[in-house]
A and B are shown apart, each in its own frame.
Chain A
């Protein structure tokens, strides 16, 4: 370990922050991370947080029950605004669900060392976000108990799904994405499960982790095939992660509704997804490293890099907003032009300006290193961006529908209590799962950290 300069000095040195604070050995990283799961007692904070989120999950169940009893009419949706919070939340959650796989797959292929200490819980976050997202397409239907019509199975009616519909594409994209992310996450976990098995303090832990580890021994043959499979998965997950939000964007781009029917959607939806995904990773990482003292592993370098990614994707999103306007006026399509004007001074203009503020203006602060290195600022900003991205989906889904082709049918949308309760419920579910995760599984990939230690010791400290 040769980096001996005190961390805070001239900028050019600070930019060379380590991805792993010096002085760590295979054992030390293993101990520190495994301890969170195996030995550390349940803190009052954890218990409080869990109880709160658990009650929110109950709220979610309550809302769903009432929904099944009464029907989607309990929401604010109407004709012309057939889609409201449900789809907004769906798209938002799916978007968040993109960071994990992106970090673990694309950064892996790009051989970015700094991914190592954040990919594990980023992937977990992905899974939970997808779980939350997956609820909505189901419950937003008028007859959820009939939703199985959307799967291709040989029915006695002799009829099948209609594969030209983007909603069917969604079904396949989301379920594929869920499955692949789960497998990716699990095989990533294998060696760490083995570690936990071998360090388990009691029989129960041994059996549980032992069973999950499937008898992993870390033999050279295992590792060889393992790496091959992991690389392939990464290669597969990369186009997948791009395709998923592309398909989600098709839900809108394929339709003819002004404000939906746009070719820019796929790229800027993907960018937006990564944008919100990283924001959510920060929202989780910052409290996590603080609570469990993982500052050594999730260093300023990570936060700084993620901030930069957000800045970049944020700019792409900004470009997307701009192109929407440009194309509206360039094409001269009177409906698109009208909608563009509606966004600026229609009844929902405030939402649009709020969106610009959250998603385009605020992130510009990230140009400044001072901001990128101010943990508190980053945390706040990540929240702002999450809110902004939610607003973006609201603007797209709702505003476009309020004033489409025939003025006589124009309407407005106002969410009801049940819209909010369902949304907040999924927030609770998401955070609750995170709580369970950090205490049940290693939040950082131990094996990869050991690898990192090895590499660090070899690369003699010049961090790439």
Chain B
């Protein structure tokens, strides 16, 4: 009988087997990595809006309070997107003839809503409530990032479930005094450790078990 395979076959055979195992492992890890990547989470993806509205300008430079536009953030599940009327409060006077604000005026004239593109999209079965987070001293920037630096708003956090859980398991690091909630530049003080504990007690924060029960967010 003659050799069926060349000597190199030995190396090839062993290498390919090993390779298969390694590749499989890599592929698996890859999937897990991609699932956490902005491609899936839409993190840091800024979108084109019908009007180039700049939070940086309005909040950062002009220092308008979040609640001037997002009126229901303290009382309702939804922070609320301002009606055209709110824009016109100022822009009927300021920049009242610049071209890039035409869509606003048009909307006001024609009574047709401005169609903003959603930036923060939660899954349909997640019931997030703004008001309770605000009331328990979670600042806007804790989730939305420093909006006041954003010419175009993008999603600053992954908004994955495990991300939510991180905070629901251990909220202390993110707790602020209520008067700091809308402060975009708030930084955790050095003593956040016990400050957080104190606030948690003050706010009567629910226990981790309660905060991580399924029905806290899913119904």
Contacts and interface: CB of A to CB of B under 8 A. Distances in A.
Interface stretch (B65-73, B160-168, B197-205): B160-168
Interface stretch (A207-215, A308-316, A335-343): A207-215
Interface in A199-241: 206-207, 210-211, 214-215
B36 interface: yes
Contacts of B1: 198
Nearest to B161: A157
Given A153-B32, A214-B13, A158 B4 contact: no
B170 to A, nearest CB: 13
Nearest to B164: A158
A210 B32 contact: no
Interface in A141-180: 153-159
Nearest to A211: B13
A156 B13 contact: no
A153 B31 CA distance: 11
B4 A157 contact: no
A211 to B, nearest CB: 8
A210 B4 contact: yes
Nearest to B163: A156
Given A198-B1, A210-B4, A215-B10, A157 B32 contact: no
B95 interface: no
Contacts of A153: 32
A108 B10 CA distance: 33
B161 A158 contact: yes
A156 B35 contact: yes
Interface of A is mostly: loop
Contacts of A156: 35-36, 41, 158, 160-162
B11 interface: no
B5 interface: yes
A155 B33 CA distance: 10
A159 B5 contact: no
A158 B161 CA distance: 7
A207 B5 CA distance: 8
Contact of A210 (B5, B35, B36, B158): B5
Interface string A352-367: 0000000000000000
Interface residues of A, number: 15
Contact of A207 (B4, B10, B161, B165): B4
A302 interface: no
A393 interface: no
Nearest to B158: A156
A154 B35 CA distance: 10
Nearest to A199: B1
B23 to A, nearest CB: 18
B216 to A, nearest CB: 14
Contacts of B36: 156
Contact of A157 (B5, B10, B13, B160): B160
Contacts of B13: 211, 214-215
Nearest to A156: B160
Nearest to B17: A214
Contacts of B10: 215
Contact of A158 (B5, B35, B41, B162): B162
A198 B3 CA distance: 10
Contacts of A154: 32
A207 B4 CA distance: 7
A211 B10 CA distance: 10
Contacts of B161: 156-159
Given A156-B36, A158-B165, A214-B13, A206 B160 contact: no
A210 B4 CA distance: 7
Contacts of A157: 160-162
Contacts of A115: none
Contacts of A372: none
A153 B36 CA distance: 13
Contacts of A158: 161-162, 165
A197 interface: yes
Contacts of B41: 156
Interface in B36-59: 36, 41
A206 B36 CA distance: 47
Contacts of A206: 4
Contacts of B165: 158
Contacts of A159: 161
A153 B4 CA distance: 43
Nearest to B166: A158
A148 to B, nearest CB: 10
Q: Which of B4, B158, B160 has the most CB of A within 10 A?
A: B4
A197 B162 contact: no
Contacts of A197: 4
- Nearest 10 interchain pairs by C-beta: A158-B162, A157-B161, A156-B160, A210-B4, A206-B4, A158-B165, A156-B35, A156-B162, A156-B36, A158-B161
15 contacts: A153-B32, A155-B162, A156-B35, A156-B160, A156-B162, A157-B161, A158-B165, A197-B4, A198-B1, A206-B4, A210-B4, A210-B5, A214-B13, A215-B10, A215-B13
Given A153-B32, A156-B158, 7 more contacts: A155-B35, A156-B41, A156-B160, A156-B162, A157-B160, A158-B165, A210-B4
